[in-house]
Amino acid sequence: MLYQFLLNFVDIFGFLNVFKYLTFRTGLSVVTSLVIVFIIGGPLIKLFSEKMITGPIRQDGPIDHIIKKSGTPTMGGVIIIIGIISGTLLWADLRNIYVWVLIFVSLSLGGLGLTDDILKIKYKNSRGLKSSLKFLGQLIIGVITLTLLIKFSNHQYLYNLYFPFFKNLIWQMGLFFIPFGLFVIIGASNAVNLTDGLDGLATVPVMLVALSFTLISYVVGNTIFSEYLQIQYIPDVGELSIFCGSVVGACLGFLWYNAPPAKIFMGDTGSLVIGLILSILAIKLINDGIEIPNDKTYKNKGPFIVIAILSVPLYDTFRVFCLRLLSGYHPLRPDRNHIHHALLDLGCSHKKASLILYGFSILNIIISFFMIKLSLGLSIFLLSIFVLGLMAVPFVLLELKKNKSV
């Protein structure tokens, strides 16, 4: 919006040419969303506190968390969404269809999460919107989003599924891409929601993921960098870095209020939106952006890179879902089997547990760079073993602690 307005005066004021550069606008989107969240965060938190917009604390959390966090405002996702949308509308090229797809995702799922949070506040319980209705809403939004991606995507790789351990086995999914994409969308959106169990726990990993996607979208959408790095240039994808930058800035600003001790909770308004945003970015960038024509080293490595970036929420959610199904519980039923619960039971404070999980995310991304030259199947297998082994450590220590106390 502001970007396109300023372009009208480029011929008069030559210094405005700087706004044509994606790098400059990406930086501006980060700063803009950060400043906006800082400005509106305090007043909105005060308003939510005065209006008693406080959600019930889930009973599956630690006792001290239930006691100390009672009365903390929720629906902080509203602050994040405002920051993301503002930074994007001001500095992105609004002629880009992918920008509008992500704006649609943010507002539509934000509305769904907001409805869920309002019902929790109204009826003073942690159930909110019925699981079936929430799932139906995610399903409808996912179908519309994927339809838009398919209609406006010109890249055949969007429809390909690469199988681990089988180097040349590629399934061209065709229309089956829709149910597969829905699985990724619903899984990722709920992964962030389920792992948002501590102050700032979801915010920092999401920020790291968004930062990684910012770099990927910027490189593959920039003719100079893509040619220099011998990466396939993809038209229009570069503008996604503006949106990703807005996510980084908004999450960084929100962390100021959400870090221990939290002044406000993200709520479903934020966690569902951020999860879905990351899933859409993953689907779009997973096959479009990681393709090097004359180098097999990085060929078809999109799935591996995305798995590495999303490793902590993905593997923790997958492990918990499997445990719930094996135990005969509903997969969306809350429990105390998440990794952050194990860290708390080991005696870690909220801040220490969050820092440990931040470290896990960073370490997984670093380790993935050493595996990038391996085949797709082997790299995913080794990364899975490493991540699952790393995440098993707190549970092993917890069992040893229990046995020792007995």
Pairwise CA distance, residues 365 & 362, whole Å: 5
CA-nearest of 122, 55, 39, 36 to 262 is 55
| Tens-digit pLDDT profile for residues 277-331 | 776 766 665 544 444 444 444 444 555 666 676 677 777 777 877 887 888 776 6
Pairwise CA distance, residues 359 & 349, whole Å: 15
| Tens-digit pLDDT profile for residues 153-191 | 655 556 666 554 444 555 666 677 778 778 777 777 776
Pairwise CA distance, residues 262 & 54, whole Å: 13
pLDDT on residue 67: 47
| Tens-digit pLDDT profile for residues 37-80 | 999 998 988 888 877 666 655 555 555 555 455 667 777 888 98
DSSP run (H or E) holding 38: helix 22-50
Band the pLDDT of 89: cuts 50, 70, 90: very high
Q: Using the 8-state DSSP alphabet, how is residue 74 labeled? A: -
The DSSP code sequence of 328-394 is T--TTS--S-SHHHHHHHTT--HHHHHHHHHHHHHHHHHHHHHHTTS-HHHHHHHHHHHHHHHHHHH
Cβ distance 200 to 255 under 8 Å?
yes
| Tens-digit pLDDT profile for residues 199-233 | 556 677 778 778 877 887 787 777 777 666 656 56
Which is more confident, 140 or 324?
Answer: 140
Q: Using the 8-state DSSP alphabet, how is residue 159 labeled? A: G
| Tens-digit pLDDT profile for residues 170-179 | 566 667 777 8
Pairwise CA distance, residues 182 & 164, whole Å: 21
